[in-house]
Amino acid sequence: MAKFKKRETGIEGLYIIEPTVFEDNRGFFMETYNKRDFEEIGITTEFVQDNHSKSTKGVLRGLHFQKEFPQAKLVRVLKGEVYDVAVDLRKDSKTYGKYYGAILTEENKLQFFIPRGFAHGFLVLSDEAEFTYKCDEFYNPNDEGGIIWDDKTIGIEWPLEKIDKIIQSEKDKKWKEL
């Protein structure tokens, strides 16, 4: 039995990953990453760094990318709920400038695999969320890039119905459009 299912998103290389979850009266157990099993579903990325963030409702982090040292990411929510977005920045891609968004929650346990060449961001929908992600390249603060979250040319449909106020870093407020 395959431990992971790879769901297509309509953008080449960008996938939702569904882990196998074993549940019983004690709780649950799941693998979140296994190199062999990921290779079986066609993901051969070598991860070198793990990150973990905690945010409150309305926090919008992103849209971030690294220019010269792009990062592939495997992201998931440990606690709470987020709307997670990846924007294709690969100039030679037929989906350049297109995005895919997914609800990731502690309940659905879905993961989002984002290959190199994408901008990434997320909006916290629950009162609090803990978010973790693996990267295949080390973070380089001198290599940061970003796109403003409400870029009209991309047209991300953020689920803002239950959000009173968007909370961003000063840096994220200053990003330009694609």
Going by the DSSP 8-state scheme, the letter that residue 137 receives in this structure is S
133 is catalytic: yes
CA atoms within 13 A on the CB side of 56: 6
| φ, ψ at 100 (rounded to 5°) | -135, 135
Q: How far apart are CA 103 and CA 109, in angstroms?
A: 10
Q: Which member of 33, 64, 83, 120 is catalytic?
A: 64
Q: Which member of 15, 99, 100, 133 is catalytic?
A: 133
DSSP for 2-68, please give it.
Answer: -SEEEEE-SSTT-EEEEE-EEEETTEEEE-S--HHHHHHTT------EEEEEEEETTBEEEEEEESS
Q: What is the set of active-site residues?
A: 64, 133
